[in-house]
Structure 1
Amino acid sequence: MTLTTLPPPPTATPTPATTSSAPTARPAPAPSGEELQALARRHGLSVSGARPSLPAYVRQLWARRDFIAAFATARLTAQYSQARLGQLWQLMTPLLNAAVYYLMFGVLMNVQHGIPDYLPFLLTGVFVWTFTANTLTAGTRAISGNIGLVRALHFPRASLPLSLALLQLQQLLLSLGALVVILLCFGEFPTRSWLLAVPAIALQALFGAGVSLALARLAARTPDISQLMPFVLRTWMYVSGVMWSIGSMASSGRFPDWVVLALQCNPAAVYIDLVRFALVGSFTAENLPPHVWALAAGWAVLAFAGGFVWFWKAEETYGRG
């Protein structure tokens, strides 16, 4: 029997894939940055956390004026809540400082020689200087001391240093009531010149708020500023005539005239001497630098405008990093 070999089964020839005649769809090009910006403007969108324009920033602050006032009042109420004497420390702190300065400078160093009504002179200087020093110190902690609030809520950051400056002004107004009583005890009775203390303190508050804004920005990036401030403020106090009279230096002839003039034009000394001129009868215009009111207004406007704009320029950086 003969075996017949069968031929192998035919293999299937692969059919070539049919090519579609339709063109392949290509992804649309991404819109350019200018197109995205135009689209965002058309729909009223803005960059999250971007710094608003200066006029818009001022309007936002004005819209939150009630918050600024309420925040200052709340901090004022809570500041001495843990102390037994409570709000009395607002008065006792400058009085105790004045007692120490009187012992050191008035008695031991006899700085009061040649200064009539030295105690009213000293007390007025201490109260006014304390206002300036506390305002600047509070400014260094305005952002860093409220970092949780800054990171949690969106609001104009200048609200914080401004509210703390308002807090210090409220403390000063409370302390001035006691200062008036003390002045009456030393024979300083109210006259029309006492009204001059109002614009003097207003200009000083404006100056302090401006410097506080600048310090708030510095301390937000460099917290060590708050550690340095006590030394800066102590030095500034000693050259501002808080415990001694700058005007008496001119009559002594021990210092050049330009040194005396520079010390008199120091902004802290300007506001202290203006309040003394208003409240202390023996402190006359001869102790004031020339054009003192223009000088006081210039310092206030320069400090507030410069500090406010400089703080605003870093608005989007606060609370980051």
Structure 2
Amino acid sequence: MSQVIDAPPRPAAAAPAVPDAAELAARHGLTVSGARPTLPAYVRQLWQRRHFITAFATAKLTAQYSQAKLGQVWQVMTPLLNAAVYYFIFGVLMNTKHDVPDYVPFLVTGVFIFTFTQSSVMAGTRAIAGNLGLVRALHFPRAALPVSFSLQQLQQLLFSMGALVVILLCFGVPPSMSWFLVVPVLVLQFTFNTGLALVMARLGSKTPDIAQLMPFVLRTWMYVSGVMWSIDAILKDQHLPHALQVLLECNPAAIYIDLMRFALIDSFHADQLPHHVWAWAVGWALLAGVGGFIYFWKAEETYGRG
């Protein structure tokens, strides 16, 4: 008989290594759909869509009152009617016009400038949540939406400024070189408003209920921003805590309103402005504009999902 010697088992052939999905994607130049670009790339993408942003803002402004009989006249009539109501309640009934020269131009300027901020914030809150169809259908930097809504409010303010000039002239406020200060004030306020709109757009995209809360917040903000009354007169006549005085003086809405009054109304003097008012105006614009843009960009890949 032949002797059978048991041979050791032969090792199984090793299975070929299978690259993971990330390695395959990198090898073939594939990227994650909807991934957040770098901040410089995002800024470039937004700049490339500048024509879309302008056209979208103009279209929204044109369509806003398209169903109304008076059409675009309401762009001027709405803030004027608000100013008339505030004049009757605060100027006449509560007599806040006492010791405020040129109270009607003072009030109308405050209403117009605060409405600019108020409308930008409200539009920004709904910028993503109210345009989900557009966000999900097309690929574009989502910041284009809140920026375009802020631009729409700026265009509407410019219509209102024409009416404001007529009011100033009718109430005997003469044109002066200080009117040119309107341009830097509007640039700073637009930057501030856009930053707030970007912040609210991100918050509103995740929590739509914020849109129901914001009117109450904005109304409270309006009452402490010196729209219907003079902050300078209140601080002189009342012995308020120092912290409250600082909050009233450094309130960004009040700063932009007072700067616009200083630019347009001859009886509104420099000594009625807070100390370092231009530094505060620039600081608020940079803080809100740059900070709001980065805050919005951080969640770029999440908008329209879920």
Q: Please give the range of the TM-score, normalised by the shorter of the 2 chains.
A: over 0.9
Residue among 262, 266, 269 paired with 1:277: 262
Q: Give the whole-Å Cα distance in 2 for the aligned partners of 1:264 and 1:49.
A: 43
Residue among 201, 207, 222 paired with 1:222: 207
Q: Give the whole-Å Cα distance in 1 for the aligned partners of 2:242 and 2:74.
A: 40
Q: Counterpart in 1 of 2:142?
A: 157
Q: Counterpart in 1 of 2:7?
A: none
Does the aligned pair in 2 maintain the 1:261–1:289 contact within 8 Å? no
Gapped regions of structure 2 (runs ≥ 5): 1-9
The 5 Å alignment of 1:26-175 reads 27-32=15-20, 36-37=22-23, 39-175=24-160
Q: Counterpart in 1 of 2:5?
A: none
The 5 Å alignment of 1:161-200 reads 161-200=146-185
Residue 128 of structure 1 aligns to a residue whose secondary structure is helix
- Residues 146-170 of structure 1: CA distance to partner in whole angstroms, max 9, x if unpaired? 0000011111000000000000000
What amino acid is the match of 1:199? P
- Residues 101-129 of structure 1: CA distance to partner in whole angstroms, max 9, x if unpaired? 00000000001111111111001000101
Q: CA deviation at 1:26?
A: 5.6
Q: CA deviation at 1:242?
A: 0.1
Does the aligned pair in 2 maintain the 1:250–1:257 contact within 8 Å? no
What amino acid is the match of 2:32? V
Q: CA deviation at 1:41?
A: 3.8
The 5 Å alignment of 1:5-44 reads 27-32=15-20, 36-37=22-23, 39-44=24-29
TM-score, scaled relative to structure 2: 0.94
Q: Give the whole-Å Cα distance in 1 for the aligned partners of 2:34 and 2:248.
A: 43
Q: Give the whole-Å Cα distance in 2 for the aligned partners of 1:125 and 1:237.
A: 9
Rg (Cα) greater in structure: 1
TM-score, scaled relative to structure 1: 0.89
Q: CA deviation at 1:179?
A: 0.5
Q: Give the whole-Å Cα distance in 2 for the aligned partners of 1:280 and 1:145.
A: 39
- Residues 17-48 of structure 1: CA distance to partner in whole angstroms, max 9, x if unpaired? xxxxx997664222146xx44x5345432111
* Structural RMSD (CA): 1.5
**Greater shift in the superposed pair: 44-53 or 263-272:** 44-53
Q: Give the whole-Å Cα distance in 2 for the aligned partners of 1:261 and 1:186.
A: 32
Residue identity (%): 67
Q: Counterpart in 2 of 1:259?
A: 244
Gapped regions of structure 1 (runs ≥ 5): 1-21
- Residues 1:207 and 2:192 aligned together: yes
Q: How many pairs does the alignment contain?
A: 297
What amino acid is the match of 2:17? P
- Residues 252-277 of structure 1: CA distance to partner in whole angstroms, max 9, x if unpaired? 13323442232011000000000000
Q: Give the whole-Å Cα distance in 1 for the aligned partners of 2:116 and 2:68.
A: 21
- Residues 285-318 of structure 1: CA distance to partner in whole angstroms, max 9, x if unpaired? 1111111001000000000111100100100100
